[in-house]
Structure 1
Amino acid sequence: MKILKLFFLPLWLAVALGCSDNEDEKNDQEELDTAVKNIHENLQKDLNTDVPSLSVYVVSPKGTYFSTVKGTNGSAVTPDMYFRFASNTKNFTSAAILKMMQDGWLNLDDKITGNIPGTAVPYTPDGPDWNFPHKNQITIRQILQHNAGIYDLSNDISQYNVGGETYTDHMLETSPDHQFTTSEYVKLLTDHNLTYGAPNTVYHYSNTGFSILGEIVARIYSQKTNSAKTYGNYMYDHIVGPSSKKPLPIRFPELATDNQLPAPYIKGLIKYADHGEVTDKKNASAHIAEGNGIGTMVTLTEYIRTLMKGENVLYASTAELMRTSKGLATTSQYALGCSNFPGIGYGHNGATEGYLSLMTYDPKTDVSVIVLLPFWDLTSTAKFEKCLMTLNVTGLEVKKRLGY
């Protein structure tokens, strides 16, 4: 009987503790559901329109949680459905550059006019079309930090536009299947002398800068393999594909014709003043290396957690460099393709037609948060900004509700 008692007491405690843990997890899930529901309701009130959905996926020491709210006209969302994660792609591009650094394939502080290590081939083409402002002063690190002064042709119309639109938007409207290239963008920089200033004198977010990084990745990989390679080839072979350290079903389409999201996918929606537009198809060739990624909430979580913990393609010290190496010109929270979202974590966010998302990991609490809002309200600038702000509001609130 003494033996039975010795065994019975721990078993009873284990059952009791298990019930307590389950009850706590249930309460946490209810807190999370309430928070997401309230944020969704408040957003609908602020915008005075139906919002198709708001979803969050959290992995923490307490457990894994998923919460989603569907609007009246929305569709159900699950964490393994595909969507376009837009500028979160920049963090993947940074991971590619930093892995190449680890492997001795490049030096972060090399000028982009310098030669790829071990070759007589420069990081960037040296023809006249690539002679854009301050090119010979710019380093790879500065482009990662958005401190290179490279004008953003995808977002900015202040120095160059076509009929009041960015070059990218104009081409997508007039020729939806146009195959974009980095050389095409760079020629515009050169021809129109477009620049924000010399490197490390001004911080300015630049999609075009990351397009140039994609070209650098392709040129280095081509040299190392002695064959023609693209940015997407390197990403598949070394960052996310079957032979990478942490294989993940993440894609980086490069062809204009590869425009359909894989199933199952979440439809994006844009609300204009006079109509709505579903955005499940997109010519992603306009955004190679800066916004062409496709994945799920689960795969983004697995990527950002393992990357920041030094369990993926980057050493822990390199992941720390990604989080902390900021340029002299910036007071922002941006480092090497990586932002610090105070109170939420490190990572990136993304905005592409009909999709808004946030991908973060907090090393202090071991909590990762993915937020997805597949909706843009373009009836006013203020309403679009309200949609964008919802990402951070959600990230902060769900961590608070879970006690972090």
Structure 2
Amino acid sequence: MNSFFFTHYRKRSAFSLTTIHTIFIRCFLVGGMTSLLFGCNVINLDDHPVPATQRVQEAVNKVRADLEKDLQKEVPSLNVLIQTPTQTYFASSVAAGRQPVTPNTVYRFASVTKNFTGAAIMKMYQDGWLDYKAHVNDLIPNTNLPYVPNTPDWNFPYKSQITIEQLLNHSAGVFDVDNDPVPGYNGESFVNYVLSRDSTHQFTAEEMIKQLIDHDLKYFTPGNGQHYSNTGYVILSRIIERVYSARSGSAKTYADYLYDHITGPASRVPVPVSFPYRANDVQLPQPSVASLLWRPSGKLESFGRVNMSGHVGEGNGYSTMAALNTYVRSLMRGENVLNTHTVELMQTEGSTAKPTYALGTSLFANLGYGHNGAIAGYLTLVVYDPTIEVSLVAMLPFWDLTQGPNGDISFGKCFNAMYDASYAARSALGYPGKP
């Protein structure tokens, strides 16, 4: 069985985007000019441009229609929010009879959570609470506690050689028990195997680490490669918990720190974002959008209620497109909790992959810095382009897994459509589009 809860998609195929050119013909009456008393004239678009909002909507409509045609299935919605230095535009392209999404519709943003985790680690670094260059078994500053527990149940492969920075940029070699098959689980990932048999299971970091220990799982020695790892970010979430607990003198969770220092009322730019970690915290607040997922068998399922306890720190967040835009725009401009120097580190430090992956942040060509995400039928992209000061959030609550050996072909079409809609929206406003 394949995992339908992965929170990152590394593969992108490409197909061309057709530019839409529209010609308007207007019939008009001009008094006092006999020769033009009645007439039909072709209007030059340069003189009478289509309103920008309409151009963005038409561009997103075209991408959704192309995806429907390619998949031969109804695509419920494709949504893009884009903010320029002077204006914000929003387009929700929906199938006939469906309600458009709004900028304030709640949905699960999956691995965009990693950008919040990166921001949390770098805020702690900026405040002197931790050293992101430190090894995970080093002591938390001004304490006698290591960043991760010094106990047998945390003795995962190469632990003494792994740094916090390597966890952030996926160069630690930590095996991903959420995305990749684990021995003894029927060819499935550990998280998917457990969830598919008990949707109410309360995951812990320790049971995920146990898989690494029991099966001696790793990708490579730390610093000698790069492999995306949700499990590496689960470890980072525990580091955040331990550092915050040590500083506050009481037990704290990952969600506590994010609320208290990154997103909540006391933060510099408050945004309504939640990071559920309990197995019974499965309901999205209203208004929300449920996702649709076509299984390889052809069965259609809808997701809204999801157990996120196996994704803490790497994919458990939910919010709105408006809130995510506010967050990424302010953060990447150095106008949120991180100063400009720390933001630069977050964007570039230790990056080796293409697209560049640094400290919880990817660089996407002609889109900017941010992160993407995929979980339980939701797809999203959250980015800010500093070269033109344009931020963008795209969201597609739809997966098709019916084409390809593992649903990879049709899923790739959905994933690429999200990017194509992003590029099309930028192009509609005159900005560089698909490279």
Same fold at TM > 0.5: yes
Aligned to 2:32: none
Q: What is the deviation of 1:315?
A: 0.4
Partner secondary structure for residue 350 of structure 1: strand
Could you tell me whether the CA contact under 8 Å between 1:256 and 1:283 is conserved in 2?
yes
1:88 partner letter: V
Matches within 5 A, 1:130-149: 130-149=154-173
Q: Which aligned pairs between 1:235-384 and structure 2 lie closer than 5 A?
A: 235-272=258-295, 273-327=297-351, 330-380=353-403, 381-384=408-411
Work out whether residues 142 and 327 of structure 1, in 8 Å CA contact, stay in contact via their aligned partners in 2: no
Give the corresponding residue for 1:398.
425
What does residue range 161-240 of structure 1 map to in structure 2 within 5 Å? 162-240=185-263
Cα distance in structure 1, aligned partners of 2:254 and 2:55: 42
Give the distance between the partners of 1:371 and 1:271, measured in 2 at CA.
20
SS of match in other structure, 2:242: helix
* C-alpha distance in 2 between matches for 1:261 and 1:325: 35
2:135 is aligned to: 111
* Contact 1:56–1:371 under 8 Å retained in 2: yes
* Separation in 2, partners of 1:37, 1:396: 13
TM-score normalised according to structure 2 size: 0.85
Cα shift at 1:200: 1.2
Distance in 2 (CA, whole Å) between partners of 1:24 and 1:322 is: 43
**Which among 64, 79, 83 is matched to residue 55 of structure 1?**
79
Aligned partners of 2:417 and 2:269: how far apart in 1?
A: 30
Report if aligned partners of 1:52, 1:73 keep a CA contact under 8 Å in 2: no
State how far apart, in whole Å, the 1-side matches of 2:235 and 2:216 are.
Answer: 16
Once the two structures are superposed, what CA deviation does each residue of 1:204-246 show, in whole Å capped at 9, x if it has no partner?
0000000000000000000001111110110111111111111
Structure 1: state its 5+ residue gaps: 1-22
The one-letter amino acid of 1:360's match is V
Offset at residue 396 of structure 1 (A): 1.5
Query: Hey, what's the Cα distance between the residues in 2 that align with 1:331 and 1:37?
Result: 30
Aligned position for 1:93: 117
Aligned-residue offset at 1:128:
1.1
> What CA deviation, in whole Å up to 9, does each residue of 1:90-109 have, x standing for no partner?
00000000000001000011
Secondary structure at 1:320 match in 2: helix
Percent identity of paired positions between Structure 1 and Structure 2: 46
Q: Which structure dedicates a bigger proportion of its chain to helix?
A: 1
Q: Which residue of 2 aligns with 1:18?
A: none
* C-alpha distance in structure 2 between counterparts of 1:378 and 1:161, whole Å: 25
Contact 2:80 2:392 (8 Å CA) reproduced: yes
C-alpha separation in 1, matches of 2:50 and 2:109 = 30
Partner AA of 2:418 in structure 1: L
1:76 aligns with 2:100: yes
Number of matched pairs: 380
Aligned letter for 2:198?
S
Aligned equivalents of 1:327, 1:347: Cα separation in 2: 14
Per-residue CA deviations over 1:173-207 (Å, capped at 9, x if unaligned) read 11111111111101110111000011111110000
Contact kept, 8 Å, 2:290 with 2:304, in 1: the verdict is yes
Q: Is the 8 A contact 1:256 1:285 kept in 2?
A: yes
Give the structure 2 partner of residue 64 of structure 1.
88
**1:285 aligned counterpart, secondary structure:** coil
Q: Residues 240-274 of structure 1: CA distance to partner in whole angstroms, max 9, x if unpaired?
A: 11111111111001100000001000111111233
Misfit runs of 4+, over 3 Å: 23-26, 72-75
Alignment check: 8 A CA contact 1:245 1:312 kept: yes
Q: Is the 8 A contact 2:303 2:376 kept in 1?
A: yes
Give the aligned residue type for 2:333: K
SS of alignment partner, residue 196 of structure 1: coil
Output the CA distance in 1 between the equivalents of 2:63 and 2:161: 46
- Going from structure 1 to structure 2, the CA distance change for 1:318 and 1:353 (only over 3 Å counts) comes to same
Q: SS of the counterpart of 2:238?
A: helix
Task: Report how far residue 331 of structure 1 moved.
Answer: 4.8
Map Cα deviations across residues 61-103 of structure 1 (whole Å, 9 max, x no partner): 2411000111136432111010000000000000000000001
- Indicate conservation of the 8 Å contact 1:50/1:73, yes or no: no
Q: Per the alignment, do residues 235 and 49 of structure 1 end up closer, same or farther by CA in structure 2, a change over 3 Å counting?
A: same
Deviations 1:321-379 (A, max 9, x none): 11111345x45411110011101111000100010000000011110010000001011
Distance in 1 (CA, whole Å) between partners of 2:331 and 2:250 is 28
* RMSD, matched Cα: 1.4
Distance 1:98 1:182 in 2: 22
Q: Are the counterparts in 1 of residues 382 and 392 from structure 2 also a CA contact under 8 Å?
A: yes
Distance 1:61 1:351 in 2: 29
Q: 1:192 to 1:342 in 2, by over 3 A?
A: same
TM-aligned CA distance change 1:130 to 1:183, over 3 Å: same
- 2:298, 2:320 → 1: CA distance? 31
Task: Check conservation: 2:379, 2:418, Cα contact below 8 A.
Answer: yes
User: SS where residue 51 of structure 2 aligns?
Assistant: helix
CA contact under 8 A between 1:85 and 1:294: conserved in structure 2? yes
Q: Once the 2 structures are TM-superposed, how far is the Cα of residue 390 of structure 1 from its aligned partner?
A: 1.4
Deviates more, 1:292-301 or 1:239-248: 239-248
